């Protein structure tokens, strides 16, 4: 089955830029989506189809996808951005959605 690899943790100071990666074999040919999960809450979609933002998601959130790596970038990080971030794709080989292991973003 398709495997997505995310670093377990990323730390950044307030006001700086957080970059979180999602690695997968040829992921650039797939549509990658990202969700944010704050402690004790349900996940919330923050990026879909590599680069699109749902309504209500700040422009500080952006995504890209190429080659073997997709990236979620959060500019001007705020304390409220501290959360776990998961990438996910649909695997056509199994007809199942696949999640990465998640990255915990810590705002220093």
- Closest contact distance (angstroms) between CB of 16 and another protein is 25
* CA max distance for the chain: 41
On the 0-12 / 13-18 / 19+ scale of CB atoms within 10 A, 55 is: exposed
Which residue in 27, 35, 72, 107 binds another protein (CB under 8 A)?
35
Letters for 36-55 (x = contact with another protein by CB under 8 A, - = none) are -x----xxxx--xx----x-
- Return the number of the residue (12 or 87) whose C-beta is nearest another protein: 87
Which tokens hold the place of 64?
């890209």
For the bound state, the minimum distance from the C-beta of residue 98 to another protein, rounded and expressed in Å, comes to 7
Residues 53-72 binding another protein (CB under 8 A) are 54
Sheet arrangement for strand 61-66: 18-23, 69-74, 61-66
């Amino acid at each position: 089955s398709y495997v997505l690899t995310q670093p377990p943790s990323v730390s950044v100071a307030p006001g700086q830029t957080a970059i979180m990666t999602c690695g997968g074999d040829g992921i650039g040919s797939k549509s990658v989506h990202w969700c944010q999960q704050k402690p004790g809450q349900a996940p919330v979609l923050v990026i879909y189809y590599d680069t699109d933002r749902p309504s209500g998601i700040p422009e500080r959130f952006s995504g890209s996808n190429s080659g073997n790596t997709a990236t979620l970038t959060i500019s001007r990080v705020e304390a409220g951005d501290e959360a776990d971030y998961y990438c996910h794709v649909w695997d056509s080989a199994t007809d199942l959605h696949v999640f990465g292991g998640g990255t915990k973003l810590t705002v220093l």
